[in-house]
């Protein structure tokens, strides 16, 4: 873990650990907003939403997660010794899986059915890693975050339920390549290349934007 001695913030050079932490948190809390402030148009976004027809959108029915699903998800977690704030690593979680399967299943189902994310599940360990460039500029730092293995398990099960709902109801467009199991960015590149080559072989005018 890197120890920050000082950092250049927008106001001044900071050397106090608490001030460095606050500046680091402030930067990453607002980084997305600051990047999109000149590019984002809420008016255009609202127009696009109004054009979407929600009549055919099916309500997501949450099916409970079984103990078998929880066990499979835990086993599929990456084997590592690093742990979140609770000190429970993936290795420990796998070792005691049979003992905590029932309470873990109950907790996961509670999150799914109520939509309430437990306050303790929002905690994580984060520390800065330097990118290329000056080592004292907060804009050249990226956050390395470790969340609790228990939270990771609940998140994976939630994502699986959402993916299953979207796929079974054909809610995603055919052009959606990211965040899906079967297709990915490589699939999009292949289709694009194939379309270009097909058009060229057929002597059609081909261009790109």
How far apart (Å, rounded) are the C-alpha atoms in residues 114 and 132? 43
Q: Report the alpha-carbon distance of residue 40 to residue 52 in Å, rounded.
A: 19
At residue 2, the pLDDT reads 47
Q: Cα(147)–Cα(159) distance, rounded to whole angstroms?
A: 16
* pTM, rounded to two decimals: 0.57
pLDDT at 138: 54
Q: Domain residues of the chain, as ranges?
A: 7-171, 174-209
Closest of 111, 190, 186 to residue 152, by C-alpha: 111
Helices (H) and strands (E) in the chain, counts: 7, 4
- pLDDT at residue 142 is higher than 70: no
Tokens of 44: 């255009």
pLDDT category of residue 137 using cuts at 50, 70 and 90: low
**What is the C-alpha separation between 107 and 118, in angstroms, rounded?**
9
- In terms of Cα–Cα distance, which of 138, 139, 74 is closest to 104? 74
Percent of all residues in the chain with a pLDDT value above 70, rounded to a whole number: 75
Confidence label for 77 from pLDDT (cuts 50, 70 and 90): confident
Give the DSSP H or E segment for 18: helix 17-36
**Is pLDDT at 1 greater than 50 in this prediction?**
no
**Is the Cβ–Cβ distance between 125 and 146 less than 8 Å?**
yes
- Judged by DSSP in three states, 150 sits in helix
CB < 8 Å & 24+ apart, contacts of 92-100: 92/149, 93/149, 93/150, 93/153, 97/71
Q: How would you classify the pairing of strands 141-147 and 7-8?
A: unpaired
What per-residue confidence (pLDDT) applies to 143? Answer: 64
Task: State whether the Cα torsion 23-42-208-51 is positive or negative.
Answer: positive
- What are the pLDDT digits (tens) for 9-50? 666 677 777 777 777 777 777 766 666 655 566 677 777 777
């Amino acid at each position: 873990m890197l120890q920050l001695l000082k950092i250049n913030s927008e106001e001044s050079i900071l050397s106090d650990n608490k001030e460095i932490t606050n500046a680091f948190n402030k930067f990453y809390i607002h980084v997305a907003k600051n990047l999109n402030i000149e590019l984002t148009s809420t008016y255009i976004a609202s127009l696009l939403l109004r054009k979407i027809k929600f009549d055919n959108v099916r309500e997501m029915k949450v099916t409970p997660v079984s103990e078998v699903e929880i066990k499979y998800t835990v086993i599929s977690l990456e084997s590592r010794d690093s742990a979140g704030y609770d000190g429970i690593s993936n290795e420990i979680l796998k070792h005691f899986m049979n003992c905590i399967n029932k309470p873990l299943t109950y907790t996961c189902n509670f999150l799914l059915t109520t939509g309430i994310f437990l306050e303790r599940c929002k905690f994580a360990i984060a520390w800065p890693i330097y990118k290329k460039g000056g080592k004292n500029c907060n804009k050249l730092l990226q956050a390395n975050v470790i969340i609790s293995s228990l939270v990771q398990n609940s998140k994976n099960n939630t994502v699986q339920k959402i993916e299953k709902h979207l796929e079974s109801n054909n809610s995603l467009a055919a052009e959606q390549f990211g965040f899906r199991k079967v297709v990915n960015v490589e699939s999009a590149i292949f289709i694009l290349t194939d379309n270009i080559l097909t058009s060229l072989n057929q002597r059609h005018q081909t261009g790109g934007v």
